Structure 1
Amino acid sequence: MNQRAACDIERLIRFGLQQGLVGKLDAVVARNTLLDLFGLAEPYVGELPDEALDTPSAILEPLLDLAGEQGLYDREVNALRVNFEARIMGALMPRESEVCARFEELRRTQGAKAATDYFYHLCIVSNYIRTAQIARNIQWEHPCKYGTLEVTINLTKPEKDPKTIALERLQPASSYPKCMLCLENIGYAGRVNFPARQVHRVVPVILMGEQWYLQYSPYVYYNEHCIVFGEKHEAMAITHETFRRIFDFVGQFPHYTCGSNADLPIVGGSILSHNHFQGGNYAFPMQRARLQQAYRCADFPDIRIGRICWPVSTVRCTGDAPAQLMAFADRLLDAWRDYSDESVEIRAYTTENGQQVPHNTVTPILHHTAEEDYVLDLVPRNNAVSPEHPEGIFHPHREIHHIKKENIGLIEVMGLAILPSRLKPQGEAIRQVLTGARAAEEVKKEAPEHAEWIDLLTAKYGTSLEDAAAEQAVRAEIGAKFETCLEHAGVFKQDEAGFAAFDRFMASIGCEKA
């Protein structure tokens, strides 16, 4: 173990030097830290294999195997393996202040894109963004009447094994860090039910005179998937200030899209407890949606307003006048908060236990175009429930839950499906049914949630498809389900009644059809 581990440590040090994680003198400190971590008395002095690596994964995997064999972590618990990996790479990480200084220097001398390029590269070569695992995700495009949606089966979060679940139950209650976004995550050692963050770094960003921070998501659902979070642990809130902050951010980083999840359960994201935005250097399917209906508003002559052809009801405002765009967003938000239309099941408030419960909010999304225009998409949301739809009237309905039952958050609204890992083996089993390799009844017993769907697919495609055709059929049908999910989330449906209701709302804020 000594020679093998010592050799891999030297390979890792060399990788860190090549990628700029450490300098010559930093490498001495990193080497001694890793020797101590692995209980080694001295470094390896032999020759190292020739290799040119983009990420450290090929070095870390055998090193982690050795550490597990030596009892440095419980190798039966994958979460502890991942945490130990962060501990290893933490020895090579530049200090937080060094990262911030380099980011600001690049931003000042070469521009915002050079700064984010540096920061994103750092997150990849440190394995904070675990590209080898992310590459296992299954991705495809789904052409439809709204354009082309994108579908991802997310395999980056492995299923929890029984031992992990048992250990989590034994963990003492902890409120540190308060959530996954809090500043205190930087350098945190982690625990079995909370990821280690020794390789986590953030950079400061001032938004509307307030301290915020920019980080990247370790799961990277799209290129340069970033998160911008407030310094204080404060709940999500969509307000007039939200619009000003995202305009401030996109003004500083014009190559990034920036949006906010809604601030209510069911229609919001998975973290409602800490105010944050998400964005990235990526053109989302929603951005390519065509104009469906233009509107005129005398109070906002310098911006273009319209309804786009998109399954989740969206008001698009375009122009090079940020003040008017923000003022229009203020008006729409204020009106929507109190807007009801019983003809399409939109109820702004209900009463529970004598208390008025709000149901309306907005998902805002902003990007900047090459033509120097800002494009602000405002997505009205409603989280009311009904006896027919107890999970949410404008939430994926139960007939879709076998594919997706989670919230339709910001990323999905923009046309990118993040689907659960169970769909990989289940989709493969259904593909085998369509080729005749497996009996439909057998697969229906294994995955009863798909039983009705399997019957529909075999009736449509039969059971003698070629492998490639069967794979394409399964992907197309999953994509169609996601399309339906988005339509369920739209407060104004894609029919004449829905369009008329959309027009009534727009009229209520002073917009007439152009």
Structure 2
Amino acid sequence: MIQNSIRELVRYGLATGLVEPEDTIYTTNRLLELFGLEEPEDAETPITADKEEEPRLVEKLEGILKDMLDYAAEKGLLENDSVVYRDLFDTKIMSVLVARPSEIIRKFRECYAVSPEAATEYFYKFSQDTDYIRRYRVCKDQKWVTPTPYGDLDITINLSKPEKDPKAIAAAKNAKQSGYPKCQLCMENEGYAGRVNHPARQNHRIIPITINGGQWGFQYSPYVYYNEHCIVFNSKHIPMKIEHDTFVKLFDFVKLFPHYMLGSNADLPIVGGSILSHDHFQGGHYEFPMAKAAVDTDFTVKGYEDVRAGIVNWPMSVIRLAGPDSDRLISLADVILEKWRGYTDEAAFIYAETNGEPHNTITPIARKRGGNYELDLVLRNNITTEEHPFGVYHPHAKLHHIKKENIGLIEVMGLAVLPSRLDGEMADLEKAILDGADIRSDEVLGKHADWVEEFLPQYKEVNAGNIHEIIQKEIGKVFMEVLEDAGVYKRTEEGRKAFGRFVESLN
């Protein structure tokens, strides 16, 4: 079986272009070595594959790797036969098919000479072919769209990240703490073998780019929450900071790749992303719901009459700047950021700081639309109270049964990344509703009881044919409320007036 799996994996490499025909014997020998084998069973029969076979072999990859991992477990090549150790080993397997970074960079630049689109198309396919992006896991994510007064919201339940088993969790706890790489966004991840508490990245490649005169890395997210979900990160391990240079970097990238948008998480806890210790952005070839939302209130800032400015019809508090000159947008963004950092409006419960702790920051997103550049500035505040210990402008407690985590850049733009636990919980909840079970007394489902009692009476008929659609629709509504909670200015008459006071303060 292992001999056939090796042949099939080499054929996969040939079909996808990871392996050149001249490298067939070399690649086969590397795989034999990895599995402790001295020779192939059928050395006389050449290994070949053409482009037409690629779709079938891509579909077979998960099975090929499974067979290889089963063999490795049987022969004691795995420390433990669990998903964490299997992921470490199959990344090692795939690394045999992957060229050195310099070769990938050379190919990327050759494609870029044709067009930026050709370069990203090559690199995105490459990142999937190497199994750095595991197609067979990403396709398991649940995705749907929920209509709202703000437009359609994108909802996903993330199933791409494997759940760690208890043995791996225990091993990670007892493992020696290493400072290398310093985090999962560092350049040193490229080619790293990984360990029980850090993913393997032997099949990972990074494209170096220059933005704002500094060296940065360009890669894709292994979990691709949306089309061509990329990460752009500082070559140095330095913390995130929203400032003038942030806006410059965003637009420098958009000028390199005009078909991509790029945004930054905020730089404060609660309203920031999961990794604040390493300066980075996220972008991609995708139009988010917020980008589709229109401006419903225009305004002008004195001295910037050439820049179109307005408040976006969105549950969070968004100012959109637009115009042909990115430098003018950056200059006005500097004014807005500086004003917001120090802005207090007690009547609207907005405090720039309390006890010396700053609360106001911005989540910025840059894109190019036709001949104009756009910069969306999402106003954020991370103040907490006894009533809202996780944050006043954070999902409130009644929504935590669906979403408790921080609202970062991706959610701000209208794409919900919901925890994998909801996949099983919602399936069980659908059954419980149809069976008329006592949801409140259920140890796992009880947290959803108030929610179910609130929405269920709104539906005249609930049956096996519509229950799944109903649950998805209601989850989408919860996400809309999540965004409304995270908005510093509510979409009410009082909230609009308060937002107006901030806008007036810019003049």
The TM-score normalised by the length of structure 2 is: 0.95
1:204-215 alignment, distance < 5 Å: 204-215=208-219
Partners of 1:229 and 1:223 in 2: how far apart? 19
Aligned partner of 2:344 among 340, 347, 364: 340
2:465 to 465, 468, 493: 468
- Displacement after TM superposition at 1:448 (Å): 2.4
What is the alpha-carbon distance in structure 2 between the residues aligned to residue 218 and residue 44 of structure 1? 35
Judge which range, 90-99 or 439-448, deviates more.
Answer: 439-448
1:268-292 residue CA offsets vs partner (Å, 9 max, x unmatched): 0000010001000001111110221
Aligned equivalent of 1:388: 387
Contact 1:348 1:358 in 2 (8 A): yes
Q: Is the aligned partner of 1:368 residue 2:365?
A: no
Q: Tell me the equivalent position of 1:456.
A: 454
The one-letter code matched in structure 1 to 2:252 is D
Q: Does the aligned pair in 2 maintain the 1:139–1:152 contact within 8 Å?
A: yes
Contact 2:261–2:283 (8 Å) recurs in 1 = yes
Q: Does 1:377 align with 2:382?
A: no
Q: How far apart are residue 49 of structure 1 and its match?
A: 11
Counterpart in the other structure of 2:78: 73
State the 1:24 CA deviation.
2.5
1:200 to 190, 201, 204: 204
Mean Cα deviation higher: 217-226 or 449-458: 449-458
C-alpha deviation, 1:48, in angstroms: 7.8
Is 1:409–2:408 an aligned residue pair?
A: yes
Deviates more, 1:46-55 or 1:211-220: 46-55
Q: 1:498 matched to which residue of 2?
A: 495
* Cα distance in 1, alignment partners of residues 389 and 41 from structure 2: 62
Letter in 2 for 1:308: V
| Pick aligned residue for 2:324 from 302, 320, 325 | 320
Q: How many pairs align?
A: 499
Query: Are the counterparts in 1 of residues 439 and 446 from structure 2 also a CA contact under 8 Å?
Result: no
> Per-residue deviation at 1:299?
1.0
Question: Which segment is superposed worse, 19-28 or 494-503?
Answer: 19-28
| Structure 2 counterpart of 1:17 | 14
Match of residue 88 from structure 1 = 93
1:34 to 31, 51, 57: 31
Q: Contact 2:150/2:293 (CA < 8 Å) preserved in 1?
A: yes
Query: TM-score, with normalisation over the residues of structure 1?
Result: 0.94
Q: Partners of 1:254 and 1:49 in 2: how far apart?
A: 39
In 2, the alpha carbon distance for the partners of 1:490 and 1:44 equals: 64
1:318 is displaced (CA, Å) by: 1.1
Q: Check the 8 A contact 1:6/1:40 in 2, yes or no.
A: no
- Distance in 2 (CA, whole Å) between partners of 1:157 and 1:203 is 24
Q: How far, CA to CA, are the matches of 1:44 and 1:447 in structure 2?
A: 54
Matched, 1:274 2:278: yes
- 1:308 to 2:312 alignment: yes
Residue 482 (structure 2) pairs with residue 481 (structure 1): no
Give the 3 Å change call, closer, same or farther, for CA 9–44 of structure 1 in structure 2: same
Measure how far apart 1:442 and its partner are.
Answer: 7.4
On the 8 A contact 2:88/2:199 being kept in 1, the answer is yes
Work out whether residues 439 and 445 of structure 2, in 8 Å CA contact, stay in contact via their aligned partners in 1: no
Aligned-residue offset at 1:193: 1.2
Matched AA of 1:85: D
Change (3 A) 1:441 1:243: closer
Give the CA deviation at 1:443: 6.8
Is the counterpart of residue 293 in structure 1 residue 297 in structure 2?
yes
Task: Map residues 109-258 of structure 1 onto 2, 5 A cutoff.
Answer: 110-258=114-262
CA RMSD, Structure 1 to Structure 2 (Å): 1.6
Which deviates more from structure 2 when the two are superposed, residues 32-41 or residues 404-413?
32-41
Whether the 8 Å CA contact 1:22–1:92 is kept in 2: the answer is yes
Say if 1:434 and 1:461, in contact at 8 Å, map to a contact too.
Answer: no
Give the deviation of 1:57 after TM superposition: 2.3
Mapped to 2, the partners of 1:10 and 1:267 lie a distance apart of 49
- Aligned AA (2:181): P
Structure 2: distance between partners of 1:203 and 1:305: 35
Q: Which moved more, 1:333-342 or 1:452-461?
A: 452-461
Deviations 1:181-200 (A, max 9, x none): 00000011111111000011
Map of 1:5 onto structure 2? 2
Please give the alpha-carbon distance, in whole angstroms, between the structure 1 residues aligned to 2:179 and 2:358: 29
Q: Distance in 2 between matches of 1:507 and 1:476?
A: 38
What are structure 2's unaligned runs of at least 5 residues? none
Distance (whole Å) between structure 1 residues aligned to residue 178 and residue 234 of structure 2: 21
Q: Which amino acid letter does the alignment assign opposite residue 280 of structure 1? A: G
Deviates more, 1:163-172 or 1:136-145: 163-172
- Displacement of 1:387: 1.2
